[in-house]
């Protein structure tokens, strides 16, 4: 923070994690400026949710993978009015709180509070999401570890809040709105640059796996409409002639009569291009027969076989080195090529929408979609010469490595900007700097 403008006089707030506050600010317990509400039987209202980086948003605007399902019975969901403070009771310790701009309903497990007229709703959205308050949510939550920590009203209501006079709250909120809008714009620019880099990576991979590295190569009709022309000397083959494939049946449960294994799960595959031996993998158990069949070998490709949406089917990862006691988990399938040099090329081909989309089309299901092993084996792929397979893989790895480095630098920039934003908000809402 480069801002040095401070208030003329300070006093001890009595709040350990806040420290000193401007002398004219007042300190109040949360229960004196809020009221717990619990209005249900409003299932006709729009469904809302509370997210870590977004606060209260419309559920229909959620565009990421969800790990939990919404109840079909909404009769016990709670009414939220504009200006209400909403806390996800299981994730408040991480910062999943916010003041709602919308009228709607939220989970009956959430905490919904009506703010008094002593506090500006926009200012409240900053102070209750600030790290100084999140610290209180953490120490007041009950639970073990970081999987689930529940926050309850009897503990929450004792939170001590340092607040300035109402006109000052409004001025602070307006200042932070202006500043954070500029910061968010800078983040959006960086994110757009990352998306362009990812598009460039996709183009590089798809061009290499479908056209090879010789721009002057003579082309021929592939015989498959959606593939189009391919270089002469290349073949189109079904996966069954290129590799063996088999889905895993190893779940996450540990059984006393089985051996301990390191389990490669769906998220490990979905989030990583490569599985390496130094990764932290879940410990589970498997039978001797399962270990013999599903142990992952160097050069294996693992794909997502089941998912919530068809677009997430056949997402691949590559086993780039020898692993120690790692087996393939449920909802995944192993692809093991007959020709070892082909495995990297096939992995890169699966990373492209051109080849991946054929499995999206044939996957089926209602709440979850799945890819049958027969459909997987009947998938079409290109088969260049062995020399070209190796050279194409080397070209892709070199090119994508440079792009990955550029993406990583952009992501680091975004994290630094977010840290600045969080520090700015904290310094302002705790009175460490004066902005009005």
Q: Is the pLDDT of residue 85 over 90?
A: yes
Tens-place pLDDT, residues 174-212 = 999 999 999 999 999 999 999 999 999 999 999 999 999
Q: Is the pLDDT of residue 230 over 70?
A: yes
Same fold, 10-163 and 235-383: yes
139-166 mean pLDDT: 85
Across-strand partners of 348?
none
Separation between Cα atoms, residue 288 and residue 293, nearest integer Å: 9
Domain range annotation of the chain: 10-163, 235-383
Four-way CATH pick for 235-383: 3.30.830.10, 3.90.220.20, 3.40.640.10, 3.30.70.260:
3.90.220.20
pLDDT, residue 234, reads 97
357 vs 296 pLDDT, higher one: 296
pLDDT, residue 367, reads 59
> For residue 140, what pLDDT band results from cuts at 50, 70 and 90?
confident
DSSP letter at 417 equals H
Tens-place pLDDT, residues 417-430 = 999 999 999 999 99
DSSP letter at 65 equals -
**Straight-line distance from the first to the last Cα atom of the chain, in angstroms, rounded to the nearest whole number:** 17
Q: Range with the lowest mean pLDDT among 54-68, 122-136, 158-172, 306-320?
A: 54-68
Q: Is the pLDDT of residue 1 over 50?
A: no
Q: Is the pLDDT of residue 148 over 80?
A: no
> Is 49:70 a contact under the CB 8 Å cutoff?
no
Q: Is the pLDDT of residue 70 over 60?
A: no
Tens-place pLDDT, residues 108-123 = 989 999 999 999 999 9
Q: Is the pLDDT of residue 10 over 80?
A: yes
Q: Is domain 10-163 in CATH 3.90.220.20, yes or no? A: yes
Question: How far, in Å, are 65, 88, 217, 332 from residue 254 at the CA level?
Answer: 26, 31, 54, 18
């Amino acid at each position: 923070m480069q801002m040095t403008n401070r208030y003329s006089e300070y006093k001890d707030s009595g709040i350990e994690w806040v420290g000193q506050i401007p002398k004219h600010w007042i300190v109040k317990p949360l229960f004196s400026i809020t009221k717990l509400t619990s209005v249900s039987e409003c299932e006709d209202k729009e469904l809302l949710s509370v997210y870590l980086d977004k606060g209260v948003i419309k559920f229909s605007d959620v565009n990421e993978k969800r790990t939990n399902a919404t109840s079909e019975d909404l009769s016990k969901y709670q009414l939220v009015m504009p200006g209400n403070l909403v806390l996800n009771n299981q994730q408040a310790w991480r910062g999943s709180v916010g003041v709602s701009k919308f009228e709607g309903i939220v989970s009956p497990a959430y905490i919904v509070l009506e703010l008094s007229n002593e506090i500006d709703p926009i200012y409240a959205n900053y102070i209750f999401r600030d790290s100084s308050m999140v610290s209180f949510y953490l120490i007041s939550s009950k639970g073990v570890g970081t999987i689930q920590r529940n926050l309850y009203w009897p503990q929450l209501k004792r939170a001590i809040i340092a607040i300035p006079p109402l006109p000052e709250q409004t001025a602070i909120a307006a200042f932070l709105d202006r500043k954070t809008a500029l910061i968010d714009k800078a983040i959006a620019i960086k994110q757009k640059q990352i998306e362009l880099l990812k598009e460039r990576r996709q183009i590089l991979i798809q061009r290499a796996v479908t056209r090879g590295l010789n721009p002057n190569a003579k082309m021929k009709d592939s015989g498959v409409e959606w593939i189009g022309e391919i270089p002469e000397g290349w073949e189109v083959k079904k996966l069954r002639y290129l590799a063996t494939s088999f889905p895993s049946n190893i779940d996450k449960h540990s059984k006393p009569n089985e051996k301990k294994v390191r389990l490669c799960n769906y998220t490990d595959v979905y989030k990583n291009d490569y599985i390496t031996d130094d990764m932290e993998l879940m410990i589970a158990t498997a039978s001797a027969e399962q270990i013999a069949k599903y142990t992952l070998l160097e050069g294996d490709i693992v794909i997502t076989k089941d998912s919530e949406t068809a677009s997430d089917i056949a997402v691949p990862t590559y086993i780039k080195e020898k692993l120690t006691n790692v087996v393939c988990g449920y909802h995944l399938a192993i692809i093991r090529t007959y020709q070892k040099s082909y495995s990297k090329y096939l992995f890169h081909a699966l990373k492209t929408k051109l080849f991946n989309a054929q499995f999206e089309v044939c996957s089926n299901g209602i709440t979850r979609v799945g890819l049958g092993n027969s459909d997987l084996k009947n998938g079409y792929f290109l088969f260049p010469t062995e020399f070209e397979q190796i050279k194409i893989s080397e070209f892709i790895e070199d090119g994508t490595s440079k792009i990955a480095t550029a993406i990583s630098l952009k992501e680091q920039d975004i994290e630094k900007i977010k840290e600045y934003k969080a520090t700015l908000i904290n310094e302002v809402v705790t009175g460490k700097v004066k902005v009005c």
